[in-house]
Structure 1
Amino acid sequence: MKKELKIFLAILVSNIILYLFTENDFAIFLIIISVVYMVLSFISITASNKKITLDIEEYEGAKKTRERIFISAQNNSYVPILRYEVKVFFKNSLTEELIEGVVDTSLNPRRKKIIDVKVPDMRCGLIEAAISQVSVKDTFGLFEKLWTEDNNVEYIIVPKIVKLNMDDEELSQFDMESYKYSSVKKGEDLSEIFGIREYTPGDSIRGIHWKLSGKFGHTMVKIPSFPIESSFMLILDKRFDGKNFDLIEKTTELFLSLSYTLVNKDYTYSMGWYDYCMEKFVYKKISSNEDFSKAVIDLLSTPFRKDSGSVTEYFLNSYTEENFTSYIYVTNSDIAEKEVEQLREYGEVKIYKPNDFI
């Protein structure tokens, strides 16, 4: 028996004893009110049992904004619900943090109510909001009906992604000989020719096509091609010490900012990480903002985990048809230099750490 019901019954018995010994009219009034309340509360809860339909309306949030979700509750019974309690769990797929929220409201008979639920402050990631338990109570909590619900919704909290100040000289470490070139867009790489035109003042002497200049009798210069695909790879270290959740967010922001910067410089590249749910290293080829947006969702949907293994070993042991020649490694590891020793046998490696970069 619930504590609240025991207290209520004790008060009722006290009033009955008081009336028997004093025949006090106020005591009989309290007895009648108490009995009527108990009967009506029991009938109300019994009549409304599982006659309520629930739904969660989707919401897509952005980091640093006030996110909300909306629960739609329909009372299909003919009696009011005095206390309607919904337990909602919020799980972050990236950090695996779990937060419980409780909504306490009332429902009118044969009416629908939209309940505005404030989402708790959470770090970036794919958030699953799930209704785990529903309860119907009377005002004093004497009677209660509980049942579980399987109703959830997912939304994204996007990390802070910025365009980093990375100039072409900083990116010159990558093996440009491995690039494929555009046939429709000119660029600055003279190793491949987009077209030929007459020399104009200011053109680089290195761009002069001496053979054709001699043939046409006037100076001709090469129009350099634009690289559209390279063989370099961004690797995200998703290992986690189990304590510093803020570092997960900072690492994710750095990795995605690097990727965003590259795609907006019209680079084509690959990005990847070890997926602890699928237990394999995954690759995403990025050649457009659309590819980048899809990869962001995939990255935010899989967790960081505590792991004593090496991400670079996971990568080198994975199968891929790509032959990467250059790498950007985003990590928090204190022994990152040692971890990339074997990776350097396959190409140039540059290490980025969130505490050093952002």
Structure 2
Amino acid sequence: MIRHKVSYFLSIAVVLVLLFFFPKPILLAVLLLEIALPLLALILLRMDIAAMTLSLQAPVTSNVNAPLALDIAYKAKRPLFSVSAVEMTLEMQNLLFHTQEERWLRIGLSSRKSSHVEFTPDMCGEWFIRASGVQCLDVFGFCAAAVPCELFCRVKVMPEQNDITIMTDQASRAKPEVGSFRVYQKGNDTAEVFELREYQEGDELKAIHWKLTSKMDRLIVREYSDSTRYDTIVLYDIALKANGEDVDKTLLSTSIGAVESLSRALVRAGIPHMAAFVFQSRIISAPIASEADAAEFLYTLLSYPLAENSGIACQFFLAGQIQQNYESMVYFTIHSFPKELALIPADVNLDAVVVTDKDGVPVVTQPARAKVLVEVPVTYLRKNRSFRIIL
């Protein structure tokens, strides 16, 4: 583009010199044509933009630390006369970790009608990718015109998986009690509506009561009762900070990889359970009765921003905002155990797991009756990809 501009101004300078020494009408016509060339290029450029559409596509899912290919393509109703390249800024926002990065791109338009751009996400979570400041350049590099379009896509970047083995002789403690029901417990049993409320972020679209929504001019959601009882809850307390200190993003991403593995290991050990985490002022929970449920729960967790500080899940449990009285709790956190953990009632069988930034091997302690604390160094987890927990 720079060479084109240099050649253009040199040619104008040459014509001006020739016109000064040889004032001929043909030289004047050439000069006027050269001066009008940028205006003509701009007109053709705007016509091309009106006749073309751009799109941004990406895989639905990918893996952390694996190349992610973005496909930027265009379609045109007719051959393009002036457009040669597209410039844009890619804004890549990780919703889970509250981070954002930008990348400037210039893509040459060719007969292939598409270009591939790769970037390697170093953190898991749901990535929202948006193109801003999109503009097209003409073949001479004289003009640039904005493209009135919105390009965006979402990608779920999955964490590296770990393999956790649960060793327990208490598998029967978490099995649903035959014939028991959880009275006034909100859940997923569509046979009975528990209550109606306004839509909140994260609610499923299938739960929307469309008839009432149309009458009340706002989204109304059905909330159902749940007739299944679980005696065990797995409370995931993963946050950006622990005890006021920022947690390393690599530690966070590796720890999230253990979420599905932990719930899957409990199911394999014969312990169906409720899995839960805190989003803002809400408890997001789901029953885990199969390995598929564990995978779906991780998929859900990746869609919500992490809490600012760890310990909030303990606070919710202590405040009674998790409605059922559970006999057993598996508590999973990172960096260090929060002080709130010591306030869990003694009659709750507590098994707490923390992934730390220390070196070494997993350490198991039992500070009190019915309480087991397991510290797992992240270096051990990355190296071995598996560890055992004895409950």
TM-score by length of 2: 0.65
2:333 to 318, 331, 334: 331
- Cα distance in 2 for partners of 1:9, 1:182 equals 85
- Cα distance in 1 for partners of 2:318, 2:11 equals 75
Alignment-derived partner of residue 156 in structure 1: 156
Compared CA separation, residues 346 and 19, structure 1 to 2 (3 A): farther
What secondary structure sits across from 1:142 in the alignment? coil
1:351 Cα deviation after fit:
2.1
Structure with bigger gyration radius: 1
The equivalences for 1:1-358 within 5 A come to 14-15=13-14, 17-23=16-22, 34-35=34-35, 37-59=37-59, 60-80=61-81, 81-107=83-109, 113-139=113-139, 141-168=141-168, 172=170, 176-177=172-173, 179-180=175-176, 230-241=230-241, 242=246, 244-276=248-280, 279-307=281-309, 310-317=312-319, 319-332=321-334, 334-336=336-338, 338-355=339-356, 356-357=375-376, 358=381
Alignment-derived partner of residue 217 in structure 2: none
- Cα distance in 2 for partners of 1:133, 1:51 equals 19
1:107 Cα deviation after fit:
3.4
Opposite residue 267 of structure 2, the aligned amino acid is V
TM-score by length of 1: 0.71
Opposite residue 87 of structure 2, the aligned amino acid is E
Whether the aligned pair in 2 keeps the contact of 1:131 and 1:151 (CA below 8 Å) is yes
Compared CA separation, residues 4 and 100, structure 1 to 2 (3 A): farther
Cα shift readout 1:112-153 (whole Å, capped 9, x = no counterpart): 723222133331111222233321112454211113533322
Unaligned runs of 5+ in 1: 184-227
Whether the aligned pair in 2 keeps the contact of 1:132 and 1:148 (CA below 8 Å) is no
Cα shift readout 1:300-321 (whole Å, capped 9, x = no counterpart): 0111242386321123335444
Compared CA separation, residues 158 and 5, structure 1 to 2 (3 A): same
Question: Number of aligned pairs?
Answer: 302
Opposite residue 19 of structure 1, the aligned amino acid is L
1:269 Cα deviation after fit:
0.7
Whether the aligned pair in 2 keeps the contact of 1:19 and 1:28 (CA below 8 Å) is no
Alignment-derived partner of residue 182 in structure 2: none
Cα shift readout 1:159-205 (whole Å, capped 9, x = no counterpart): 12222133225xx4x8x44533689xxxxxxxxxxxxxxxxxxxxxx
Unaligned runs of 5+ in 2: 180-227, 357-374, 382-391
1:10 Cα deviation after fit:
6.5
What secondary structure sits across from 1:235 in the alignment? strand
- Cα distance in 1 for partners of 2:149, 2:125 equals 24
Compared CA separation, residues 177 and 10, structure 1 to 2 (3 A): closer
Whether the aligned pair in 2 keeps the contact of 1:269 and 1:286 (CA below 8 Å) is yes
* Percent identity for Structure 1 against Structure 2: 16
Compared CA separation, residues 120 and 36, structure 1 to 2 (3 A): farther
Whether the aligned pair in 1 keeps the contact of 2:274 and 2:288 (CA below 8 Å) is yes
